[in-house]
Amino acid sequence: MPPTVIHDPGQIDFALPGKHHYQVAFHLDSSWGYSLVPMTVINGSAGGSGPEPAGVAAFGGTHGNEYEGQVAIKRLCTDLDPREMRGRLILIPQLSETACRAHQRCSPEDDVNMNRAFPGNAHGTLSYRISNFVKTRIFPQVRVVMDIHSGGKESVFPLCTSFHPLPNAEQHAETAAIARLFDTPFIFVYSRQMASGLLTDEAEDEGKIALGGEFGHAEGTSTSGVRHAYEGIKNVLRHYEMLGGEIVRVDAARATPSRMVQAPNLSDYIPSPRSGIWEPAVTPGADVEKGDLIGSLHDFSNHCSLPLEIRAHKKGVIIALYFAAVCKKGLTLYVIGEDAA
Ligand SMILES: [Zn+2]
């Protein structure tokens, strides 16, 4: 069955029993035509005692050049059986569909980064209209929101789930519990000040359980990243009793639980002091001491010049690292985090 094209999002019946595949049509700004955003809505029909489970939404392709979330969520669209499920699940494998088709971070239609476009605008350009749809049509259906990212073509993170520090202790604890279900080597509690307009910003401000994560890098499709994203989302469904069975270890070979690392202050997000060719000296996830060499910036305008050495400003864990060779002044070279409770 091909997906049903939806021209009026107000016509979507999110309570329809079973599994339904849609393409939600958002008109283009530049020409006659549409961005057809893929969406699968599942309302489980398995019986069960207890209250109706929390609704869950999972997004991939918020950035078009990050593939693990796109692949994992697409696979869930075909694999999950509503007869074995309870509650409501909404899967969107390519939220910024035009960015995904162009294989780039931002939409080529309006040059907007979907993950800076929230809460959106019903009368804005394409990306703002899609984010407004998420805010006004999808968020009201769910209590748990997951947005699966990768490092794109600039940064590398050790495989991690991520969320912001939350002032509400209950919301923080539940989000941390969900983060652990992905069984990633790291959980990164990151600064909300680094950017605004994120999908997860909006969800957490509504009091939802909002989780992000970085499951690969370099515009590849990481085998382990896809596995952690796919199995992690299924573990979340099991946790909320939307899917039967026990929580599974995703990486049974790793002896240690996820290591939670926090970097709540922008002073630990270090910008490149100048443009150059970046030669990292450490790997993401490495423990460093203050003064350790993080990497070198080379200036090829004078091949006799010594590289500029970038050294750790404090002891901690390299929780994000610039990896592309070409680095521009001001881009974040590295982030040092500290172990969180
Ligand atoms: Zn991203």
Q: What confidence tens digit (pLDDT) does each residue in 38-90 have?
A: 999 999 999 877 788 889 999 999 999 999 999 999 999 999 999 999 999 99
pLDDT band (50, 70, 90) for residue 139: very high
Q: 63 C-alpha vs ligand 1 centroid, how far in Å?
A: 5
Topology of domain 266-339, CATH:
OB fold (Dihydrolipoamide Acetyltransferase, E2P) (2.40.50)
- Provide the residue ranges of all domains of the chain, joining segments of one domain with +: 4-263, 266-339
Terminal Cα-to-Cα distance of the chain (whole angstroms): 48
- Average pLDDT for the chain: 96
Write phi, then psi, for 224 (nearest 5 degrees): -70, -35
Q: CATH fold of 4-263, please?
A: Aminopeptidase (3.40.630)
- Cβ atoms of residues 266 and 193 within 8 Å: yes
Strands 316-322 and 160-163: unpaired
Residue 304 Cα to ligand 1 midpoint, Å, equals 38
Distance CA 160, CA 179 (A): 9
Q: Give me the residues near ligand 1 (ion), CB cutoff below 5 Å.
A: 63, 66, 149
Residue 150 confidence (pLDDT):
95
The answer to whether the beta carbons of residues 72 and 223 sit under 8 Å apart is: no
Q: What pTM was estimated for this model as a whole?
A: 0.97
Strands 4-6 and 18-27: parallel
Task: Give yes or no for residue 121 having a pLDDT over 90.
Answer: yes
The contacts of residue 167 (CB under 8 Å, 6+ apart) are: none
Q: Which helix (H) or strand (E) holds 196?
A: none
Contact 218, 154 (CB under 8 A): no
Q: Residue 194 Cα, ligand 1 centroid: separation in angstroms?
A: 13
Tell me, what's the pLDDT at 313? Answer: 98
